[in-house]
A and B are shown apart, each in its own frame.
Chain A
Amino acid sequence: MEELLFGKLTWDSVIIVQEIEDPNLNTFITAGAAAMIPIGGVMIVALLWWLKWWKPLISWVTSVDHKRIGVMYIIFAVIMLFRGVVEGTLMRLHQATAIDGGFLSADHFNQLFTTHGTNMIFFVAMPFLIGLINIAVPLQIGARDVAFPKLNQISLGLTGAGGFLIMISLLIGEYATGGWTGYPSYNGKLVNPGVGPDYWLLSIGLSGIGSTLTGVNFAVTIYKMRAKGMTFMRMPLFTWTALATSILLIFAMPPLTACCAMLGLDRYLDFHFFTNDMGGNLMNFINLFWMFGHPEVYILILPAFGVMSEIAPTFAAKRLYGYKGLVAATMCIAVLSFMVWLHHFFTMGQSTTVNAAFGIATLLIAIPTGVKVYDWLATLWGGRIRFTTPMIYLCGFFILFVLGGFSGVVLANPTLDYQLHNSLFLVAHFHNVILPGTLFGILAAIHYWFPKMFGFRLMESWGRLTAGCWIFGFSVTFLPLYSLGLKGMTRRTVDYTDPSYVPLMIVSGVGSLFLSLAFLFLLVTFWRSIVNRKKLAVPFGDPWDGRTLEWWTPSPAPEYNFAVLPEVHSLDAFTAAKEAGTAYDPVEKYEDIEMPSNTYYGLIIGILVSAFGFGLVWYIWWMVIASFLGCIGTMIAYAFLPQRENIIPAEEVRRIDEAWRREARETQGITRDEESNETNKGLARPDILPSV
């Protein structure tokens, strides 16, 4: 009877019970982390009740507004980043002391590197980037929302379901230990029959479906919903990279869904996709996984490149250099990213011809990447550079990211990969491109677009300190790993025996403390900015003298984005309007605006899919069936429910918009000298910059 109700779940599955029964430092750490979940949950509920924030919360989680969905993705990512940074720091600290045994058990360490990688890629980096794309793209193309707002909400729900699974694994059960790549047959049913690999494949498989749908959504949005006059070659670069990312999502996520499903069939139904025996072939998983995995890393970097393309011109007060070249490079990277996946397993024993061919393809993809970096530097050439927080991240990127590219070129050679594969050199390489590339791009973008979402800037002082701390922390933590990798230290190793590794391990451990500090400073940045939001308010909407359409609307942006959809005649349409003096001219005709209304659809799907995943992990079949039928039922029900829409009457639109335009015409803006002051209300005065 119990098995029918609870499947494999027992009291012993709960980590806290394990700690009570068998206390030691190792389980204390795990139980402590696990306990944060119920405690955190209770605290959040209490906080919401005390502040009476239930209604706003409901209005947010039922919203289909791309801006709110984007912000929710980012909040989710920040929470998961907290977990990811803690996991990373724990590993670095453990390895700094591992020559004497370290303080973590092998099983704990093995789960840590698995959850760290899985979490950071699927539940930190991707939600951050999808969140930024959500926030910025419809505004940049002059649209009111994405093509399929309800689908957008469902994608968020699915991502949340994946996040739920990886978080609940902290409290109930355990996670996989096979790394974020989860190769069988280690992750197969015979060698690892526990719940860990099931949590792994379900958390990434289910959230992956959400990402595929996001790709579809934004590809259609960018193709079909651009403002009048915005041809492809007049789109901002961030939108171009969002388009490339969407194409990658559409074509690269299915292989992941497929190989997770296949692994699931192997584990649950004794199929023989990847088993050692009966005709299974584990190499198929590896091929499928990396057919996803390589484009995935370009999904992670392309939006960050897009952000750099926005930051450089804005904060150097000049046009982006090489627009056409950047577009071409972006599309080259997108196409080439599907042709290099084998470089993740040069050492698997395939023929030299195959290895050499993929090695050359990998070298080729370095060319457009390099062009992009040169183009951004050329953008700064001839400019007037302001060292705001986003610019500091860009500088860190210039110096550090090229080192990551350097090590990537080294690894592209099969000959060298035979030595360096699976070593800390590899670990250093991918952190070197993800932190200075993806993370710095994300953090720069947060500073850049935060005012557009919330109506006030983030504090520059804390922002710059945070940036410096990330740059320093990254360098101290990861650059030593190159040396260790060359000296032969392997990855995913809980302990080691060579005492010559110790000094650099300690340096790296100290560095990880700076990374933790940097994360803390990030939170402080948010907190102090919220406290000082009145002083930092930028209601006119253009705090940076921006060039693209998203700055041509008040801050925070109204639900419908633009009172009247803009018409563009060139690149950098907003700058053109400001230079012509027509940016805030009165508008003649206002119309009623129809916006989709709130819905519970995404939330319901998110909850049902979470239950579906949890039920599958623990073999609770009634939960699996009920949630699956529930999803079908929900979809059918919503097909019949009347589609309500929110109509904002033309009068109200006129009232708000006319007031904004009138005030903008009548107020004196600021020059860039005042950009970080209280006087910056989001209105830009033409900045007369001397030639030399």
Chain B
Amino acid sequence: MIDLPILLAVADSFLHPIGPVAEEQLKHLNFVMLITLIAIIPPLVATPVILWRFRRKKPTGTYRPNWDSNPILESLMWGVPLIVVILMGISLWKITFRLDPYRELSDAPLKIKVIGLDWKWIFIYPDEKVALVDELIVPEGRAVEMILTTDTVMQSLRISAVVGQIYAMPAMTTKLNFIAAEEGEARGMNTQFTGEGFWKQKFPVYSVTDEQYNKRMEEARKSSLSLTPETYAILAVQGTSEEAKKPLGIADQVGPITLLLPEVNFFERVLARYWANEPMTPETQPGSPDYDPTKSTLPPAPSEPMMKM
């Protein structure tokens, strides 16, 4: 069951954020918890007090069997939570807009297109003409915009230490904008159940200096594999990226699979599969138990934009 390396000292939760979005989320969590305590502490304190004061055996409070209303208490009961909710509502409204995952965090963010498969992620860097499987590397401090889809079923890509998650769905795109402010490693994963290998769908996120980023891109461009419909069809077979190495012919390679990107619009071709007005069959649908990579084809990239989220 365990063929994933155990990752230690990896930023995995937003309790230890390494990006401004996650930092703000953490601050908001603290604010929400604090302000909600106003409503929560009274019952927590009152319960033992009341149980003690008004217990039958040795009560210390007056018995008032017919006391059933008090206007001041009513106003407080409805009013204080209402005020708390109003304050929290204002804060919620503002921060929901500020931390909109679709909002670009700078003028020219690094665009990465992501395809979710069972049970791996393909990160396409169209500007760099490479694609990485199960590895996300970004320059620290640079704004990144991910555009996501999947080719199987609904998934949810989450990088807790940096930004949180967004659903990714077949035939549609969603977006996730973030900045990794510190150098280091974070963990990303799929949080929407997709089957037996779901728990293995995790990947490292490296936030590195510009130099290291460019070096990695250079390395990747030396790869012997290209992201073509054929290699993609093999990648779309159910399994982890490690398991995909053998059928791709690189069984001895250590480290994540890297691919050249001869077609900049490859992502759009995968999307277009569901807009081709041809029904998917058990053989052509990745994720189906009868999926056959030799039968899987990709339509050409569409000339106009299709449905987007």
Would A377 and B56 count as touching, CB distance under 8 A? Answer: no
A409 to B8, CA, bound (A): 32
Q: Which of B41-91 contact A (CB under 8 A)?
A: 42-44, 46-47, 50-51, 54-56, 59-70, 73-74, 77-78, 81-82, 85, 88-89
Name the A residues within 8 Å of B100 (CB-CB): 352
Given contacts A277-B280, A352-B97, A418-B165, contact A493 B199 (CB under 8 A): yes
- Chain A residues closer than 8 Å to B274, beta-carbon distance: 276-277
Q: Are B96 and A355 in contact (CB under 8 A)?
A: yes
> Is A57 on the interface with B (CB-CB < 8 A)?
no
Q: Please judge, given known A-B contacts A321-B68, A355-B96, whether A191 and B165 are in contact too, CB under 8 Å.
A: no
Which B residues are in CB contact (< 8 Å) with A497?
2, 4-7, 202
Q: Kindly state whether residue A1 has any CB partner on chain B within 8 Å.
A: no
CB contacts (< 8 Å) of B63 on chain A: these are 318, 382-384, 689-692
B265: Cβ under 8 A from any A Cβ: no
Q: Do B85 and A366 touch across chains, with their CB atoms under 8 A apart?
A: yes
Give the complex CA separation of A276 and B5 in angstroms: 34
- In the complex, the answer to whether B193 meets A495 with C-beta atoms within 8 Å is no
Shortest C-beta distance, B288 to chain A (Å), equals: 5
* Beta-carbon contact of A487 and B92 below 8 Å: no
Minimum CB distance partner of A426 in chain B: B191
Question: A348–B88 contact, CB under 8 A?
Answer: no
User: How distant is B99 from chain A, measured CB to nearest CB, in Å?
Assistant: 5
> Is A42 an interface position by the 8 A CB rule?
no
The complex places the Cα of A488 from the Cα of B5 at a distance, in Å, of 17
Chain B window 158-175, contacts with chain A (Cβ cutoff 8 Å), 1 for yes, 0 for no: 101001111101111011
Q: How far is the CA of A423 from the CA of B73 in the complex (A)?
A: 38
Q: Which residues of B contact A490 (CB under 8 A)?
A: 158, 189, 191
In the bound complex, what is the Cα–Cα distance between A414 and B59 (angstroms)?
46
- Asked if B25 lies at the interface with its beta carbon under 8 angstroms from chain A, I say yes
Give the residue name and chain of the A residue nearest to B168 (CB): A349
CB distance from B187 to the nearest CB of A (A): 7
Residues of A within 8 A of B61 (CB): 381-382, 692
Q: Quick one: which of B93, B170, B194 contacts A356, CB cutoff 8 A?
A: B93
Q: Does B252 belong to the interface (CB within 8 Å)?
A: no
Which one of A101-109, A154-162, A250-258 is at the interface?
Answer: A101-109
Complex: chain A residue closest to B275, CB-CB: A277
Using known A-B contacts A101-B2, A349-B166, A413-B32, determine if residue A373 contacts B68 with beta carbons closer than 8 Å.
Answer: no
Set A99, A318, A399: member contacting B64, Cβ < 8 A:
A318
Size band of the interface chain A makes with B: 35 or more
* B287 and A190 contact, CB distance less than 8 A: yes
Check if B108 is an interface residue, CB within 8 A of chain A: no
Q: CA A177 – CA B193 in complex, angstroms?
A: 9
Bound state CA distance, A355 and B171, in angstroms?
A: 22
**A278 with B54: CB separation less than 8 A:** no
Decide yes or no whether A35 CB sits under 8 A from chain B.
Answer: no
Query: Within the complex, what minimum Cβ distance (angstroms) separates A326 from chain B?
Result: 11
Verify B202–A277 contact, CB threshold 8 A.
Answer: no
1/0 per position for A524-567, CB-CB distance to B under 8 A? Answer: 00000000000000000000000000000000000000000000
**Chain B: minimal CB distance from A544 (Å):** 13
Check A498 for interface membership: any CB of B closer than 8 A.
Answer: yes
Interface residue from B78, B165, B198 paired with A419 (Cβ < 8 Å): B165
Query: B114 within 8 Å of A by Cβ?
Result: no
- Bound together, the chains give a CA A416 to CA B276 distance in angstroms of 37
**Contact assessment for B166 and A347 in the assembled complex, using a CB-CB cutoff below 8 Å:** yes
Contacts of B158 in A (CB 8 A): 419, 422, 490
B254 CB-CB contact with A under 8 Å:
no
Tell me whether B115 is interfacial, beta carbon within 8 Å.
Answer: no
| A72 contacts B by Cβ under 8 Å | no
From residue B82, how far is it (CB to closest CB) to chain A in Å? 6
- Residue A374 is within 8 A (CB to CB) of chain B in the complex: yes
Contact of B165 with A367 in the complex, beta carbons under 8 Å? no
Q: Which residue on chain B has the smallest CB distance to residue A391?
A: B51
Cα distance, A382 to B82, chains bound together (Å): 26
Q: Is A607 an interface residue (CB 8 A)?
A: no
Cross-chain contact A416 with B88 (CB below 8 angstroms): no
Q: Inside 8 A of A384's CB, which chain B residues have their CB? A: 54-56, 59, 63
Q: Which residues of A contact B55 (CB under 8 A)?
A: 384-385, 387
Whether B59 and A360, one on each chain, are in contact in the complex, defined by CB atoms closer than 8 angstroms, is: no
Does B15 reach chain A (CB closer than 8 Å)? Answer: yes
How many cross-chain pairs have Cβ atoms below 8 Å apart between A and B?
A: 301
Q: How far does the Cβ of B280 sit from chain A's closest Cβ, in whole Å?
A: 5
Stretch at the interface among B135-143, B149-157, B205-213: B149-157
A661 CB–B CB distance under 8 Å: no
Specify which chain A residues have a CB less than 8 angstroms from the CB of B82 in the assembled complex.
367
Is A374 a contact of B77 with CB atoms below 8 Å?
yes
Tell me, yes or no, whether B305 is within 8 Å of chain A by CB.
Answer: no
In the assembled complex, A499 has its CB within 8 A of some CB on chain B:
yes
Mask: chain A, 161-193; 1 = CB below 8 Å from B; 0 = not = 000000000000000011100011110101101
CB within 8 Å of B: which A664-691 residues = 672, 689-691
- Contact between B54 and A385 (Cβ–Cβ < 8 Å)? yes
B73 and A363 within 8 A (CB):
no
* Best-buried of A323, A373, A383 by chain B (most CB within 10 Å): A383
B231 contacts partner chain A, Cβ-Cβ < 8 Å: no
CB-CB contacts below 8 Å: A253-292 with B = 275-278, 282-283
- Interface core residue of A375, A409, A495 (most chain B CB under 10 Å): A409
Q: Once the chains bind, are B81 and A277 in contact (CB under 8 Å)?
A: no
**Residues of the A chain whose Cβ atoms lie less than 8 Å from the Cβ of B101:** 349, 418
Shortest Cβ distance from B196 into A: residue: A106
B226 within 8 A of A: no
Q: Are the CB atoms of B165 and A422 closer together than 8 Å?
A: yes
Q: Is the CB of B62 within 8 A of A382?
A: yes
Distance between Cα atoms of A177 and B194 in the complex (Å): 9
Task: Report which of B15, B25, B89 forms a contact with A363, defined as CB distance below 8 A.
Answer: B89
A185 close to B153 (CB less than 8 A): yes
**Is the beta-carbon distance between A325 and B174 smaller than 8 angstroms?**
no
Q: Say yes or no for A494: interface residue by CB 8 A criterion.
A: yes
How far does the alpha carbon of A322 sit from the alpha carbon of B187 in the complex, in Å? Answer: 51
Within 8 A of A (CB), among B260-298: 273-274, 276-282, 285, 287-289
Q: How far is the CB of A167 from chain B (nearest CB, A)?
A: 24
Q: Which 5 A-B pairs have the closest CB atoms?
A: A418-B164, A382-B64, A101-B1, A349-B174, A488-B13
* 16 A-B interface contacts by CB (under 8 A): A99-B2, A102-B1, A191-B285, A193-B289, A321-B67, A347-B167, A352-B102, A363-B92, A377-B47, A384-B59, A386-B56, A413-B96, A416-B28, A488-B12, A497-B5, A692-B60
* Chain A residues in the interface with B (C-beta under 8 A): 98-102, 106-107, 110, 177-179, 183-186, 188, 190-191, 193, 275-278, 282-283, 316-325, 345, 347-350, 352, 355-356, 359-360, 363-364, 366-367, 370-371, 373-375, 377-378, 380-387, 395, 398-399, 402-403, 405-406, 409-410, 412-416, 418-419, 421-423, 486-488, 490-499, 672, 689-692
